[in-house]
Chains A and B, each alone.
Chain A
Amino acid sequence: MNERLPEGLRELFQAAVGPGHGPWRGLFRPGDWLLVLLSAALVAASYPLLWRGGVADRAIVKRDGQVVTELALNTPRRYEVEGAIGTTVIEVQPGRARVLSDPGPRQYCVQQGWLTRANAVAICAPNHVTLQLGGRGGAHAGYDSINY
């Protein structure tokens, strides 16, 4: 295939892939290596820092804005809370929680499924009940899943 390349391109190709001198590596100066490696480490470190909400460790159940109970997310269990129009059932499994059933007409909070991240919220508005996951810190502890 080399013969079909025009003169100049072939030269460039040979310079780039030719044996021995490794021309691309030669273009790095010592500080460049340092800077590129340091930035790569910083970029890699930024992924977990910025991309993951805090790990959830408890489920907070509220009725009319008042905390009814906090459930640790380490043992599976169910919890029933009496709301304005009936009983909302919260299910907890290790690391996650969901609204198992709710008397509300549209079932939004049930269909939201499992919540896994800190500050995620499921709101059963007709029954005045909310389920929120709490976690330790995280880069954005001030935000919940309602924030856009």
Chain B
Amino acid sequence: MTASTIELPVAADDHRIARYAAAAIALSVAEAALPSPLPGIKPGLANIIVLVVLARHGWREAAWVSLLRVLAGSLAIGQFLAPGFFLALAGAVCSLAVLALAAALPARWFGPVSASVLAAFAHVGGQLLLARAWLVPHDGVFYLLPLFATAALVFGTINGLIAARLLAEPAPRECVS
């Protein structure tokens, strides 16, 4: 994490959050065009951005980016307040909660891949719990758990690797315009 030695005006991290959120929104809109064998199984590429923000700027900004992404992304693809929006929100909230815990893991042993996999599982868990409580009030939804968990593991690992790769690059310079 880069502790800034200079005092930035408040507007600077607002700009930064907006830029990262824009990237996350673009990824989630692009991803909405991908066909999926099962509703709910998606790569979740926008979470790469959340992971990068978490590592570079801490949990608070990651939460901003993630929640803005859910809100504006659903507006962009016309899903705002549709069931998919609430599922995405539940997933985002759960994975943010887990990321807050994962950030406490010793960085020497656990990197972005761990954070990503844990967050992906939390995402799936949050969505399934909400779906169980609200959309499909029957334990039958849990039959899908192995499929969702597999997707979470695969995409969580890949997203984590991409985030780790991006984090290995030097951070972009802040350009306050």
Contacts of B105 in A (CB 8 A): 31
In the complex, residue of chain A having the shortest beta-carbon distance to the beta carbon of B113: A32
Query: CA A143 – CA B149 in complex, angstroms?
Result: 23
Contacts of A46 in B (CB 8 A): 145-146, 149
Q: For chain B, what secondary structure do more than half of its interface residues adopt (helix, strand, loop), or is it mixed?
A: helix
Query: CA A131 – CA B109 in complex, angstroms?
Result: 56
Q: CB distance B113 to A29 under 8 Å?
A: yes
B129 close to chain A: CB less than 8 A: no
Query: CA A28 – CA B117 in complex, angstroms?
Result: 12
CB within 8 Å for A27 and B168 given contacts A32-B111, A140-B139, A147-B138 = yes
**Tally of A interface residues using CB under 8 Å:** 22
- Among A23, A24, A43, A140, contact of B153 (Cβ-Cβ < 8 Å): A43
Contacts of A39 in B (CB 8 A): 117, 121, 149, 153
Q: CB distance B113 to A27 under 8 Å?
A: yes
In the complex, residue of chain A having the shortest beta-carbon distance to the beta carbon of B162: A27
CB within 8 Å for A43 and B146 given contacts A29-B109, A36-B153 = yes
CB within 8 Å for A43 and B149 given contacts A27-B165, A50-B142, A147-B138 = yes
A-B pairs with beta carbons under 8 A, tally: 68
- Would you give the shortest CB distance from B34 to chain A, in whole angstroms? 22
Contacts of A148 in B (CB 8 A): 138, 140
CB within 8 Å for A47 and B117 given contacts A31-B109, A31-B110, A40-B153 = no
**Tally of B interface residues using CB under 8 Å:** 28
- Would you give the shortest CB distance from B142 to chain A, in whole angstroms? 6
A35 close to chain B: CB less than 8 A: yes
Within residues 90 to 119 of chain B, which ones have a CB less than 8 A from any CB in chain A? 105-106, 108-114, 117-118
Instruction: Using CB atoms and an 8 Å cutoff, list the residues of chain B in contact with chain A.
Output: 105-106, 108-114, 117-118, 121, 138-140, 142-143, 145-146, 149-150, 153, 157, 160-161, 164-165, 168
A-B contact list, 18 entries, CB within 8 Å: A27-B113, A28-B111, A29-B110, A29-B113, A29-B114, A31-B109, A32-B160, A35-B117, A35-B118, A36-B113, A36-B117, A39-B117, A39-B153, A46-B146, A47-B146, A50-B145, A143-B139, A148-B140
